[in-house]
Amino acid sequence: MPLVTRRTLAGVASAALVAGLLTTSIATPASAAAALSDVIPAPVTVQPAAGVTYTLPSGASVYTAPGSSAAAAVGTYLAALLRRSTGYAVPVADAPAGTPTSGISLLLTGADASVGAEGYQLDVTAATVVIRAQTAAGLFHGVQTLRQLLPAQVEAATVQSVAWTVAGGRIIDYPRYAYRGAMLDTARHFFPVATVKAYLDQLALYKINYLHLHLSDDQGWRIVVDSWSRLATYGGSTQVGGGAGGYYTKAQYSDIVAYAASRQITIVPEIDMPGHTNAALASYAELNCNGVAPALYTGTDVGFSTLCTSKAVTYTFVQNVLSELAALTPGPYLHIGGDEASATTPAQYSTFMNQVQPMVTNLGKSVMGWHQITGANASAGRVMQFWGTGTTDAAVVSAAAAGAKVVMSPANKAYLDMKYNTSTPLGLSWAGYIEVQTAYEWNPGAYLANLPAASVLGVEAPMWSETLTTLDNIEFMAFPRLPALAELGWSPWSTHNWTAFKTRLGAQGPRWTIMGIDFYRSTQVPWATGGTTTRYEAENATISQGVAEANHAGYSGTGFVNYDNATGSYVQWSITAAAAGPATLKLRFANGTMTNRPMNILVNGVVVASGLAFAGTGNWDTWQTRDIAVTLNAGANTVRATATTANGGPNVDYLER
């Protein structure tokens, strides 16, 4: 039975179609513990203990530093992860005095002095696992390493029959850079809170510690500002290609901030200005120099919009927006954009930025902006985000010499929305194609000529959303490149080795499959193999009152089945089971209407699920999976999904076992 807990690969060209079946590898119970050196990002030092392993017993506890609620929170996080896949109780308690003798201990004393504010020391003996750090962030990062050392099945949402064994030895680890970020563009397409939280969970596994949220652009404004309420209600009412758009209430934004903090991730909010502002200009006519509000915009062009830099109301507007956002944001940075301001003259741009930057610092925050903000005066603690495709930029080097720091996001290396190759169904290619090796093979500390390594604050992997609408889309573009960029941000350059990295990266595949991460199976990576899950494409099944089509994006295989609007229309698959018994089938579907399209599920002619709901998914290229519990016979079986109303069934992509 497959161990996928949410959903599986969508539209991955590198998988094999054979006789209507798409087969992908999924981990089976491991017979040997992962090596300490298998972790991503690569640790600073690894000292294996030959012949030593620790196996988590059913009575194990998690012990945390006494008196530390922050350490206890990390312990609770770890215990919750372990409980669902092991079935063990895993109580969390204060660590007893003295040297740990059993279970897993998370302690804030005794770590090697080199670990600093975010690092950790991990010791594994036959009797116990001990993670030591100076802060809760360090403990959390140590937990992510332990998580990768455990069998991949630890990610499963149901109890697995696995020996929970960890290799013995010691890891001492700490980050190369203080800033290790990812960016999610919620303006071109809006992503709900649940999607942002899911991405945060994935970022945490690879020790990312900043999530930059692009909250405004020409196509949409995504955060409530009480003093300018139409920004969200009108400016947030659409997105690229049309559609409802959306926005975060202040409570929702605060929820994201708190959830991120529980994963040791800091939110960096961005309000792009003075360009990329059509959503604001459409919401308030007075922000335009001619006093006329333009129409809302759903295209993808850039550089045509600007706030009116000569109007006093513009600066009142900016002050209000930044003040309200700063009050919601405990992190140190407010990102003010500043890129592609083609509709603003250099003089207007510098005038504007020279008034706006002090607003940020007066709010107790540091200015962050795209590297074009070098066109304005310096401000204390300013951070420039370099996104160019070249390796020289005199203005950035000059600003760094004056004290600014640089976050490296070269578009031809770090932009996660760039296509992998010419056949990638999502993304753009204006900065080039970025395969995994391209994303990995560059040195942030030596990329820009004449920029001192000490001026580099870190690395960020932006994800622009012109073509992305779902979590599946985000995952497909992020994985496997995000872990490559995470390693550039965390690991010392001395560990950098593509040959070793691609092997470690390939070993992550079964973990992602179990987590339901929809990743791109790059042919550059030797993906780990194990057991298999079998996918039965709907377009190759028996179809009654329906048709195979390929006119909506995101499907697997060669297409999907569009049911006729008729009661009794169905798709029927023939599947084989090695042995009789219970099984979980996954049916992938899309329903672009607001109307439920229920179906009966029949196994070998017997109804096993009556009127099973297939509610709207938002649009016809937004795919979801539905788990169906069945009992199969040994050998051949038939599974039929039959529409029970005159609306017919949803579009069906595949059945997977």
312 token code pair: 């006093």
Using CA atoms, how far residue 588 sits from 11, 408, 554, 564, 578, in Å, is 12, 38, 11, 18, 23
355 CB-near residues (< 8 Å, 6+ apart): 315
- 141 φ/ψ sector (left φ>0, alpha ψ -120 to 50, else beta): alpha
| Among 65, 64, 59, CA closest to 82 | 59
Return the closest-CA partner of residue 29 out of 123, 153, 150, 148. Answer: 153
Active site residue 549: no
Give the C-alpha separation, 446 to 443, whole Å: 5
Give the residue among 410, 408, 409, 273 at the shortest CA–CA distance from 338.
Answer: 273
Rg (C-alpha) for the chain, rounded Å, is 26
Half-sphere exposure of 606 (CA within 13 A, CB side): 7
**Pairwise CA distance, residues 118 & 629, whole Å:** 43
Q: Which helix (H) or strand (E) holds 53?
A: strand 45-55
CA–CA dist 623, 14 (Å, integer): 20
Which helix (H) or strand (E) segment holds residue 602: the answer is strand 599-603
The single residue listed with the structure tokens 């800091």 is 266
Amino acid at 496: H
Within 10 angstroms of residue 593's Cβ, the number of other Cβ atoms is: 14
| Active-site option among 324, 340, 441, 466 | 340
Let me know: does 220 contact 282? Beta carbons within 8 Å: no
Q: CA neighbours within 13 Å on the CB side: how many for 384?
A: 30
Residues marked active site are found at 340
